[in-house]
Amino acid sequence: MELQLTDVPDPDPTLEPDGFMVQTAAGDRIHFLDWGVPQERGVRRGVVAVHGLGQTAWIWAPVARRLGGPRGPLKFISMDLRGHGLSDAPTDDGAYDLALFADDVVAVAEGYGLDGGAGDQEGVVLVGHGFGAIVVAGAARRLGTDCGGLVLVDGGWESLETSTGMDPDEFLRGLDEPPAVMASLDAFLADRRAFGPDTWDSDQDRAARATIVETHAGRVVPSARPHATDASVRAMFTYDPVATLAAVDAPIVALAAADDETGSRMRALVRASDARAASGRPTIEVVEFRHDGHNLMRYRPREVAAAILAVAS
């Protein structure tokens, strides 16, 4: 797939989103950021974007500044997953099943009138990063023809058990940050800045700060609740990418960051795409970024925005 970068507007540095809550059928409150409505209403579909594990809605700022607001072509919403950011973090058994995560996305889309049932809307475009890609894949399957397109940003097409060779407990242990990184807010921000100094700006600073809480002792801890992180990871390991993506009616675009040396990630993507073809649905359009890290919204915001525009057109 060739992305049309010239179609992407320049970012609006003045854009500030409004925060809202929507209540799900289960009674949980889900927080989302509304990045504004285009001046030309009804030009294109709306977008709901979902962050990955341990992140928040603010990670989408570089893309939202290009696509949302009065100057942008889309109605752009980014949401906090349950247990993350400002969304509720229920402690009930089963509160982090993949079906409930998908329900949360549907609740945000329906609550904002982006699900195809409101006047000029043609179906919401769902975009997810990492774990968020798994979540939006389930939501797209649930929405059926009310989903106008699905963009998977470096995730959503793999079985975690197969791709990592780990079980959930081992995966969780790998999430622990080095003590030196969590020793202070300055140390944490310096670590995140070092991932790509040329891409570090006020949006990256804000997104990083949203993922941690500073303690009275001066250390920082993850803002995602520990029980929610544990349960979210266990939910990730139940995901069946082939069955889920084969049942999604909407067109799918996958943005793949640096592959591993064995090529297993791309083989998993081919399997999912072949399963869609076997079910009579369009194959997955793929764009590879072989030299970029997982957070493509930070390293390739214009390209991520272009992929969303391509699906929304």
**pLDDT category, 40, cuts 50, 70, 90?**
low
Q: Is 253 helix (H, G, I), strand (E, B) or coil?
A: strand
Q: Are 305 and 8 in contact (CB under 8 A)?
A: yes
To the question of pTM greater than 0.85 for the whole model, the response is: yes
Note the pLDDT of residue 46: 92
Helix/strand/coil percent split, the chain, to 5: 40, 15, 45
CATH dotted code for 5-159+168-175+225-312: 3.40.50.1820
Note the pLDDT of residue 120: 42
Q: Are strands 75-79 and 29-34 parallel, antiparallel or unpaired?
A: antiparallel
Does residue 54 have a pLDDT over 80?
A: yes
**pLDDT category, 217, cuts 50, 70, 90?**
very high
Phi, psi of 109 (to 5 degrees): -65, -45
Does residue 285 have a pLDDT over 80?
A: yes
Beta bridge pairs of residue 129: 153
Q: Are 119 and 42 in contact (CB under 8 A)?
A: yes
Q: Are 67 and 308 in contact (CB under 8 A)?
A: yes
Note the pLDDT of residue 258: 85
Q: Are 139 and 105 in contact (CB under 8 A)?
A: yes
Note the pLDDT of residue 119: 44
Can you tell me the mean pLDDT for 226-235? 98
Q: What is the pLDDT of residues 84-136, one digit of tens each?
A: 999 999 999 999 999 999 999 999 999 877 755 544 457 899 999 999 999 99
Q: What is the pLDDT of residues 185-195, one digit of tens each?
A: 999 999 999 99
Task: Report which secondary-structure segment, H or E, holds 22.
Answer: strand 18-23
Note the pLDDT of residue 118: 44
Least confident of 10-19, 112-121, 296-305: 112-121
Residue 70's CB is within 10 A of a number of other CB atoms, namely: 11
Query: What is residue 80's DSSP assignment?
Result: P
Does residue 37 have a pLDDT over 90?
A: no
Q: Is 230 helix (H, G, I), strand (E, B) or coil?
A: helix
CA angle 115, 9, 302 (to 5 degrees): 85
